[in-house]
Amino acid sequence: MRVHIATDHAGMELSSHLITALTAKGYEMVDHGPSAYDAEDDYPSFCINAALAVVADQAAGVDALGIVLGGSGNGEQIAANKVKGARAALAWNLDTAKLAREHNDANVVAVGGRQHTVEEATALIEAFLTEPFSNAERHIRRIGKIAAYEATGVVAE
């Protein structure tokens, strides 16, 4: 699986750890930055580029997911969700990480690097990456309604 990862200054140490740890587990890691620490960096471009790459890979049939990191993960999730076709979910415990995949077929996970130890954050991300989508009809229907709104601006009943 290809995994696109992006962060801001608050998640750089976690990002570096994840790139090493997930590469060792066989994931193909693609780092969307930043490449150097800057306390004044702006996360939107990094996170949007990671989400764009996930959506493009999935459209091309590549097995791909994304990770966006920051202090809280909130802004990073918001930025990733601006990409058409991205479904970014903020994970703060194992249940939210797994349910993001199982029920929502999320393709990007957001985690707050200042909210968890490296071990906790790694466990959340591994749970997200390994949890399959349930393919339950009700979840497919709900995701379809979100995609339809994204495409048309019309809220489905």
DSSP states of 113-152: TTTS-HHHHHHHHHHHHHPPP---HHHHHHHHHHHHHHHH
Tokens of 61: 């049939």
Catalytic residue among 103, 126, 139, 150: 103
Give the whole-angstrom CA distance, residue 126 versus residue 121.
Answer: 9
- Measured from the Cβ of residue 151, the count of other Cβ atoms closer than 10 Å reads 10
Query: Residue 43 region, left (φ>0) first, then alpha (ψ -120 to 50), else beta?
Result: alpha
116 is catalytic: no
Among residues 4, 9, 32, 76, the one annotated as catalytic is 76
4 flagged as catalytic:
no
Cβ(65)–Cβ(129) below 8 Å: yes
Catalytic residue numbers? 76, 103
